Structure 1
């Protein structure tokens, strides 16, 4: 078949590369326009654009799939559209352009977690099972009939970034099977059944860790927001009392939590930090401690939490909120 592919981030690249290596022909790749990256805000092509250009494929860069894009795709006469995390709405006119419409690889067990951040919300909610779905794209959000729905492993310490990377690769043969089935006329799909939940894009505020909740809830949120939008907490540094001088005011700063781990230790009050066996522990609302493994103080590079701790004022009381 003649296929048009739409995707933007790195998780879409394995599917693109597999389709490019298959017996099918990719007639165009749609991706979002170059975006500023890094501190110097260098305009950079999306991972999908870079992969498509390496493969010598025709690339259409567009942040909106408007009439111009639709007409360009129509002229290519595609048989099928395949979309993986493009990041934009596909309107009815473009949905109807390929002979067999569009299929979407979605990183959840639909209808649970329809939306932009399914893996993230699944981890935050503490779901016991997650996976991927391949479905027919329709105007309603992630509501089309499902060709394939497959649970996939989710290690209990894996972050959203870890799972997305793993699922992006593990989904490749599943997408190829559905595409081949559509081409052969043997693919079947079924309406979605079950309770619908939504997974909107996360904001920076969603990354705040609430130490007054149970350790399991804190760890689940950390997993769900790592690496994006990123876990963080507000640190309060209360200097040690000095009777020879006026009391120093507490210092408040934001600390990014890049790596957090479970621990069997207990006993710290919620939000209280302490050094335990050369490791930085923090208390939670359930009485269980968690370990800060790697952090990034405001305006500084990332570092081991123990190194950050050694740089704090001697004798200060450290807490998080």
Structure 2
């Protein structure tokens, strides 16, 4: 089939690579978000998908909005049979959805209809799900509601961050998307409507959502930190400055600390929660690089009874 791939971040690159390597399909073009500021200098830089397409010698389309007439005209001229999608990052209008004869097929990182929306992996970790996965489905105008072509499952490990889990799903999902394209081409794969039951939503997590509530149970704090790593980054406040939490661990041996109360010794830093303590493993003070929590505590000399969040 003649394909136009739509995607933007690094997580979409494995799927693009799998389609290019399949030998069965023609990569006619990619659709990606416009160049955006990146790095410390905040200079405009192409998306990871655009970089990979450039290396492969594929035409790159960067519409500010995919409803632009110029983009739609170019897509019609390319005449794709199907448009596979991974984390493109923009809403596709019906005028675009109607162009390829097999539609736009999305690789979504959840077991639909669970966790429809922009942040399925983060919400699966935050909810304490034991299993998640990836789904390929035909895009409709509703939110991740289209009929399903295929699924795969992935166990969520107790120490998984969203970044860890998403990396595994992106690699496994690339094979699922390639197999879905093969099945559509062969006529052996047909989309099945999603169940009406079990729908949950996964909106994007904001920086405000990532603030730690130290009165919550330790398990909830641990899940929040893992769900928000690497983005948007879980955080708290110490001595009036924001402190990012890069990694914590449950410390059930300490139940005598009040919520948010710090206890630091030579090797460990613990903080109280609504149940038992958690151990801070890595932190990132405002304007500095990530560092072991014990080094941070020694440097700022945590006093007995000091609290986070003040």
- Under TM normalisation by the shorter chain, which class is it? over 0.9
The answer to whether residue 310 in structure 2 is matched with residue 310 in structure 1 is no
The answer to whether residue 147 in structure 2 is matched with residue 145 in structure 1 is yes
Any gaps of 5 or more consecutive residues in structure 1?
A: 236-250
Q: Identify the match of residue 272 of structure 1 among 257, 261, 267.
A: 261
Greater CA drift, 108-117 or 292-301: 292-301
Q: Aligned residue for 1:231?
A: 234
Q: Aligned residue for 1:105?
A: 107
Partner Cα separation in structure 2 for residue 5 and residue 57 of structure 1: 10
Contact 1:131 / 1:150 at 8 angstroms: preserved in 2? yes
Contact 2:109 / 2:133 at 8 angstroms: preserved in 1? yes
The answer to whether residue 66 in structure 2 is matched with residue 65 in structure 1 is yes
Contact 2:82 / 2:101 at 8 angstroms: preserved in 1? yes
1:1-321 maps to which residues of 2 (within 5 A)? 1-22=1-22, 23-66=24-67, 67-193=69-195, 194-235=197-238, 251-267=239-255, 268-276=257-265, 278-286=267-275, 288-313=276-301, 315=303, 317-321=305-309
Contact 1:2 / 1:80 at 8 angstroms: preserved in 2? yes
TM score, norm. by length of structure 2: 0.95
Partner Cα separation in structure 1 for residue 25 and residue 152 of structure 2: 24
Partner Cα separation in structure 2 for residue 134 and residue 125 of structure 1: 22
Contact 1:31 / 1:49 at 8 angstroms: preserved in 2? yes
Question: Structure 2 vs 1, CA of residues 77 and 292 (structure 1 numbering), >3 Å: closer, same or farther?
Answer: same
Partner Cα separation in structure 1 for residue 244 and residue 152 of structure 2: 34
Contact 1:254 / 1:298 at 8 angstroms: preserved in 2? yes
Choose between structure 1 and 2: higher strand proportion.
1
Contact 2:266 / 2:298 at 8 angstroms: preserved in 1? no
Greater CA drift, 164-173 or 305-314: 305-314
Any gaps of 5 or more consecutive residues in structure 2?
A: none
Contact 1:63 / 1:88 at 8 angstroms: preserved in 2? no
Larger radius of gyration: 1
Partner Cα separation in structure 2 for residue 72 and residue 106 of structure 1: 26
Partner Cα separation in structure 2 for residue 120 and residue 186 of structure 1: 33
How many pairs were matched up? 305
- SS of aligned partner of 1:109: coil
Partner Cα separation in structure 1 for residue 120 and residue 64 of structure 2: 21
